[in-house]
Amino acid sequence: MPVVLKTLDSIGFAGFFSVVVTSEQVPRGKPYPDMFLEAARRLDVSPEACLVLEDSPAGFEAAEAAGMDYAVVSRPVSA
């Protein structure tokens, strides 16, 4: 969690999220849907109302298992 919060802060995104869930807070990480389902629970919204932004196959699998739509976000290619 500290790394995630520091990263969000350093890129100016910390204020955009009322809920942040990391793998340390749920029984299983990706590709299991636990993080996404916990975020939906904390936001008090149904999984079907969620859109996951993901950059990894494990994340796509987790979003699908949670019953959430997802959008693929590509990572920059390093030389």
Asked whether residue 75 carries a pLDDT value surpassing 80, the answer given is no
Task: Report residue 53: phi and psi, to 5°.
Answer: -100, 120
Query: Which pLDDT band holds residue 50 (cuts at 50, 70, 90)?
Result: very high
The strand pairing partners of 31, in sequence order, are none
Structural domain containing residue 66: 2-72
Which DSSP helix (H) or strand (E) runs through 9? helix 2-10
The strand pairing partners of 54, in sequence order, are 72
Q: Mean pLDDT across the chain, nearest whole number? A: 95
pTM of the model: 0.86
How many separate domains does the chain show?
1
Which of these, 46, 22, 48, lies nearest to 35 by C-alpha position?
22
CATH number at residue 33: 3.40.50.1000
Tokens at 14, concatenated: 């910390």
Tell me: the pLDDT tens digits for 7-42?
999 999 999 999 999 999 999 999 999 999 999 999
Bridge pairing between strands 69-72 and 51-54: parallel
Asked whether residue 60 carries a pLDDT value surpassing 80, the answer given is yes
